[in-house]
Structures are given as structure tokens and as C-alpha cells.
Structure 1
């Protein structure tokens, strides 16, 4: 019997969850042919057909469903082994950090040089994503999130509250409210910023909509309209001013989140401490 390869099992689990080669390949950052080959290898090793290859996607067979449950248990054991080993490492290696894209690009990246100078043996891998990375499955070691995690396996520390304000070029302050134009999130968005702003703004007042907050920022700079933006994004840009509104939007809490098994690992702890100090030293910008 051929030896069982953990990577084959890992690819099998990803495909069982995603249901398609293309989605699995994107998540694993490989070609879709690699996913198919790995799953095929596992089927040959186990001598079991795991998937029915259908036009609508790859569907688990009855045997595949049963084996996926056992594979998930094996995955949990492997991840536990990894976290235990990580806790005994030194101040070297890779740390994966997940954060909202705009926080990553506009706040973190410009301020990371001091971390690199202090911890030259730690390599940061930055993942800008709006969804919450699954820390239990090693998608990230540390996550900055705008909501408190619910899992008892995760530990979270509230760093600060992120405030949002309406920003525009100074000329908007001199225009009557009836002549003001706004930049909003696209109609398909269900996020709270869009819902909150539309309580105060007529649909006819929007000059532009987009699903990209950086595009909103540049549109505000160009004078197209006023945009609801996080304060840290605009705090050091004197070209935009805060536009008074009848009521301020609610602040969003920003949490630093780690898995409880890795929080004492030296390189994870050093990175987390740096992020805590960084955010707290710039709390006036949030």
C-alpha cells in the first residue's frame, strides 16, 4: 500500500468544503490541475472513489463523506501538533497577519519598518482580507478584526475604537446642504456604513457609488462628493476636512485575535506586542 501523504488529505478536505476545483485552487494558491492530481493520488492510495465529477462541481460520494469526517479529525490533530511546536520556537520564522485591506495598506504597512529593524529574523506575511481568517486552520497566526470572535479557542484584545466621519474637500462646507453630493458604497453592499449613511442622504444625492473604499477616498479628494471614511485613513491628510452631520456614526471596535495555543510562541507574542503598542500609540488617529 502506498504511504498516505498529508498534503493529499489537505487538498481533499479543501475540495470537500469548496465543492469546485477553481475555488479550492484559489484558496490553496495553486493551479486547479494540482488539486485534481492530489485528490486523485489520495483516491489511488485509499482505493476509494471520493468524488463524483459532475458538471456543477465535485460532489462527495458516500465514502467520501465518511472519510472527510475522519480527515477533519486528522486535520485537528495536525494543527494541534503544529501549534504545540510553534509555542517552543524562537524569535525567527514566519508570522501570518490578517487584517482588513484598508487598515493593512493605509495604517500598518507604512509603520512596519521599525518592526523589521528590531526583529530581522521574523518574516511577516500580510493578508489583506475582509472576511475573518480561520485561525484554527492556520490561515493566519494573528488577525485584526472589526468584531469580537465567538470561538472559545480564540483570545481577543480590544485595541481601540475605529471612528468614521464624513469627509470632503473644504469647498463643501460652503455649499448649502441641498447642493451637496455624496460618494457611497454600491447598492449590493449590506455593510453598516452604507445603511447608516442612507438614513441621512437621499438616493438622488449620490454622485458616485463603488465597492472600493480607496476609490471613495480618491473621489472625495477630487471633489466629486463627500464620503464616509475611517478616521485613520484621513487623519494625516489636510486636503480633506470633516463635514458636520446631525449624528455621528457608531465607532467600530478593533480587536487583536490569536488562537490560545499559539499566543505564547515567541515570534507570535513579539508581533502581537508590536501591533498593540503601534495601535495604542496612534489611538488619536482612530
Structure 2
């Protein structure tokens, strides 16, 4: 395979009809033009110029190649124009992974604002407790409550997710020793909020478990039991009341993560700025 730079050097030589003129335009030494020409001829298996004492006229193959390359300056100009447009245009689709509670209650309600600012920008929001594999393209940007350890990632702490215990107003009137609880299944026992639930419930039973927070919240609204929720969710639900317990709920740092190459994309940068603004606009998420 030939080197595209060698091809470009030949196109300049063919146009200027002079080794010295080509060298001046390219701002390189004569010898560099000669080496590039030799490398291209070797790669193509063609003799492109006749090496005369004072000139380098094109051979028949050289002239044929020169005609093919006449469009090269135009192509280069189009590529540069594309680069300039891409560097300022905010468009396309950006995938964002975030914890479900954050995605549903903090990000999704404000997506219309982002759309008004950037009508050609689309966001694919991926609510998940699992960590999206950014290196596999599962998401472009991730908001995580676990500090990213991958050295290649750019990470920034943007907020704190706090948790508290909630229940319906009727349930809250019961004596504390009669409380029942709602939580995740055993596979989520490693989560700080789930560990705190087990700590404060002591001997009292978990009567309902669900893998998603919204199901837990709906069960708590029905009066089934007390549930641990992010304060952004629980405090905003008029059907629930925060319960007083003998220890403070956990707080988990919120990290914004992205790969450096993607960070330079205007579209990704616009979404990152928007995500930070969403977090900072929510008082319960501020550090």
C-alpha cells in the first residue's frame, strides 16, 4: 500500500513540473521530494518520471496518475471544510449512561432544554445500575456513583447522591418496632444504601424486594413498608414521608466520566455541560 503523503508530494511535483518548485511549495528539502517520489514508484511498481540531468518530466504513467490526482486539491479542501464544520457543529447522537433515579428524576425532565439549545443533537439516555463499558461503546458519557478506576478515563466529581428512609404517611404512624422494609434482592447487598437498610432494620423483616427503585417506591407508596431512596426521589414524592432513624443515610459521590478523545467532540462537550448543569441545579445533589 502506498503512502498518501507520497502521493500528495507527487501531485505537487506533477503540477509544478519542477523538483525545486515542489520542494519550495512543500517547504522541504529537494532530497525529501526525491525520497518520496522513489517510495511511491516502488510501492506502485511504476516509473513516474524520467530522471534527466536538469529536469524530471513525467512518464506516460506519471501523466496518467497526474490526471487522476487533479481532483486531489478539491478533495483536500472538502475534507478541511468538513473538519471545520464538525469542530463547531453540535449534532448527532450522544449516549449517556446514568443511575435510573438520576436519569428519570433529574435528567429526563430537562431534555427539552437541551433540544432547544441544540436542535440537531439527540441524546440516548440509558438508565442502569450497571456500569456501562465506555471502551466498548455502550455509552459515550457515564454518570456513576462509583469512582472510575480506568486510567484512560477523564473523571470529574460533579455531585453527591444522598439517601434516606421513606414511607407512606399512614405507615409512618406505626410504632418503629412494627416497621417492615422494602429493598433490593440479595444480589444488590453490596450497595451502600442496601447495606444501610440492613443496618437500620435489624431484626425487622424485608417483606418486598425488587431489582428496580421505581417498583420499590410504588410499593412504599401503597403502605407496604419503608424504603431507602435517593433524597432527590423521596423528598419529591408527596405520597411519602421521610422517617427519622438513629443513623444518617449514606452519601455516594457522583462522577462524570468520558474518554479524552470523545471529550473533544462538540456534541459530547455540549451534553457534558448540560449534565453538570442538571446536577448543579438540584440542591440535593450539590456537594
Task: Please report the TM-score for the alignment, with normalisation by the length of structure 2.
Answer: 0.65
How far residue 191 of structure 1 moved from its aligned partner, in angstroms, is 2.8
How far residue 85 of structure 1 moved from its aligned partner, in angstroms, is 11
1:128 counterpart residue number: 127
Instruction: Note the alpha carbon deviations across 1:30-82, whole angstroms, 9 max, x for none.
Output: xxxxxxxxxxxxxxxxxxxxxxxxxxxxxxxxxxxxxxxxxxxxxxxxxxxxx
The SS at the match of 2:186 is coil
Asked whether 1:194 is paired with 2:184, we answer no
Q: How does 1:1-286 map to 2 (within 5 A)?
A: 88=87, 90-192=89-191, 193-284=193-284
Contact 2:235 2:241 in 1 (8 A): no
The SS at the match of 1:151 is coil
How far residue 204 of structure 1 moved from its aligned partner, in angstroms, is 4.3
How far residue 141 of structure 1 moved from its aligned partner, in angstroms, is 1.2
Contact 1:107 1:233 in 2 (8 A): no
Task: Report how many aligned residue pairs link the two structures.
Answer: 203
Contact 1:87 1:262 in 2 (8 A): no
Give distance in 2, aligned partners of 1:270 and 1:276.
10
Give distance in 1, aligned partners of 2:154 and 2:166.
35
How far residue 155 of structure 1 moved from its aligned partner, in angstroms, is 0.9
Give distance in 1, aligned partners of 2:249 and 2:234.
16
The SS at the match of 1:262 is helix
CA RMSD of aligned residues (A): 2.2
Taking a change above 3 Å as real, the CA distance of residues 179 and 256 of structure 1, as seen in their structure-2 partners, is: same
Taking a change above 3 Å as real, the CA distance of residues 85 and 191 of structure 1, as seen in their structure-2 partners, is: farther
How far residue 203 of structure 1 moved from its aligned partner, in angstroms, is 4.8
Larger radius of gyration: 2
Instruction: Note the alpha carbon deviations across 1:138-175, whole angstroms, 9 max, x for none.
Output: 22111111111112211111111100000011233332
Give distance in 2, aligned partners of 1:128 and 1:157.
20
How far residue 97 of structure 1 moved from its aligned partner, in angstroms, is 0.9
Give distance in 1, aligned partners of 2:227 and 2:130.
23
Where does the alignment leave 5 or more consecutive residues of structure 1 unmatched? 1-83
Taking a change above 3 Å as real, the CA distance of residues 196 and 91 of structure 1, as seen in their structure-2 partners, is: same
Misfit runs of 4+, over 6 Å: 84-87
How far residue 214 of structure 1 moved from its aligned partner, in angstroms, is 0.9
Task: Please report the TM-score for the alignment, with normalisation by the length of structure 1.
Answer: 0.65
User: Which segment is superposed worse, 107-116 or 198-207?
Assistant: 198-207
Give distance in 2, aligned partners of 1:190 and 1:94.
35
Give distance in 2, aligned partners of 1:119 and 1:150.
32
Taking a change above 3 Å as real, the CA distance of residues 264 and 87 of structure 1, as seen in their structure-2 partners, is: farther
